[in-house]
Structure 1
Amino acid sequence: MSYFAGKRVMVLGGSRGIGAAIVSAFSQAEAEVVFTYSGSKDAAASLASKTGATAVFADAADRSAAVTAVRNAGPIEIFIYNAGVIVSGDPLAVSPDDVDRLIDINVRSPYHTAVEAVRSMPNGGRLLFIGSVHGDRMPFKGITSYGLSKSALQGMTRGFARDFGHREITVNVVQPGPTDTDMNPATGPLAEQMHAQMAIKKHGTSEDVAQLCLYLAGPYASGITGAMHTIDGGFGA
């Protein structure tokens, strides 16, 4: 029987891309998975049907809705925050409302939902946040607000690791680089520019990221906390 059999896992933002791969990986490992979606109802329904996971509608930008979804899913043993948006362009021209929404989804929501998850989380639980290599490195102009939000996850993770360490709850960030999803396809217009920055000149896969999450949530990662785990093909090397 899998180590994850019967464990309650919640994935915030799980209907597509990396989130869907995480939902699939933990479902295959026999966990009881609940995931949220907002704009991808059909994709969420299809994923739930394929994996046996439970799909819950909740907009990550709505603090009350996101926190309520976490509360209703508890007690959660493994909490993974994957929801995220990107705003790109000249900081002098981008919409302030778009930047505020990015901060709501990428910074405020992971903080508040993680706190809610821990309220009922048993000792030895896991908190994982899907960040980005851009939390460490910014080789391109035009994504300042995105980089800001991913750096914020790093500080939050270090703090939570201290706050919850006495309960042996580990807290970590997984930081993908260019990853082949519908938001950043390996054949997209920016692929060549990204690959030029990489040691291994190809996009990673969502499944790679999901398998790293499985390891960090598993029994051999009980001493790994407050850390950033970059999986980027050498993009940030």
Structure 2
Amino acid sequence: MNSSSNRTALVTGGSRGIGAATAIRLAQDGVDVALTYVQDEAGAQAVVRKIEGYGRRAVALRADAADAASPATAVHDAADALGRLDILVNNAGIGVLGPITSLTDADIDRVLAVNVRAVFLACRAAAGRMSDGGRIISVGTALSRYTGGPGGTLYAMSKSALAGLTKPLARELGPRGITVNLIQPGPVDTDLNPADGPFAAGQRGATALERFGTTDEVASLIAYLASEDAAYITGTEVAVDGGHAA
């Protein structure tokens, strides 16, 4: 992989899980990183210390993606703190699961605000601050590519919107050499969906590899798409799902 030295990134939802693994992996590749968090300040600061341990600059920004003003503010604060913005990783997201008849208006509003509106607003702000040759990578879900279990309608719908954002935005920003891609993770071992949790057996059995993925495996794909080596990959969806959709 070509060096990413002197590049900067914003990773939303970077205090734990895929976001934390991504922030750390980018730092290992020579990227200075800003990350957002909502409540887990201790986790965010732990990630900052790990990034600094690799000799890179790091900043943790408190930002609630459900707040309409927050995504753009995070982009501008990250660019100001690090001096520029080369990479945006839209990782922050929430899931509210349950039968469609049980979902409240508040559930719907918050999921769409975080998983759809916040991503769009961050991309809009980044388009104005990002250097030519930049990278935008969003984290979706394999549940938007095949029929998942009952109760996933709202979450899958919200994440499916990211494909509709990725492709035309890649066309729009392509003349500037900015790539826009979407990754679709399958079951990944995180605090919210542990590999030994009550719903893990069915997810594990549905993959070709018969196991959960790790956050580091997902982060490695994001790091590749953020690298110079991936300059000719844009407007696409890349599954990292252990063969769940095979």
Structure-2 residue corresponding to 1:36: 36
RMSD of aligned alpha carbons: 1.2
Which of residues 167, 171, 179 is equivalent to 1:162?
A: 171
Question: 5 Å matches for 1:52-63?
Answer: 52=52, 53-63=58-68
| 8 Å CA contact 1:2, 1:30 repeated in 2 | no
Report deviation, 1:8. 0.9
Report deviation, 1:139. 2.5
Report deviation, 1:66. 2.1
Q: Does 1:84 align with 2:93?
A: yes
Structure-1 residue corresponding to 2:15: 15
Counting aligned pairs with the same residue, the percent is: 40
Gaps of 5+ in 2: 53-57
Which of residues 196, 206, 230 is equivalent to 1:221?
A: 230
| Aligned pairs, number | 237
CA shift digits 1:171-210 (9 cap, x unpaired): 0001110000101111011111112211110000000011
Structure-2 residue corresponding to 1:233: 242
Report deviation, 1:116. 0.3
Report deviation, 1:46. 1.4
Q: Does 1:101 align with 2:106?
A: no
Q: Does 1:175 align with 2:174?
A: no
Question: Which runs of structure 1 show a deviation greater than 6 angstroms over 4 or more consecutive aligned residues?
Answer: none
Structure-1 residue corresponding to 2:76: 71
The one-letter amino acid of 1:45's match is Q
Q: Does 1:46 align with 2:51?
A: no
| 8 Å CA contact 1:176, 1:209 repeated in 2 | yes
SS at match of 1:215: helix
Gaps of 5+ in 1: none
Structure-1 residue corresponding to 2:144: 135
- The CA distance in 2 between the partners of 1:60 and 1:6, in whole Å, is 27
TM-score (norm 1): 0.97
The one-letter amino acid of 1:98's match is D
The one-letter amino acid of 2:94's match is V
| 8 Å CA contact 2:7, 2:31 repeated in 1 | yes
| 8 Å CA contact 1:138, 1:147 repeated in 2 | no
The one-letter amino acid of 1:136's match is R
Which of residues 154, 158, 170 is equivalent to 1:145?
A: 154
Report deviation, 1:158. 0.5
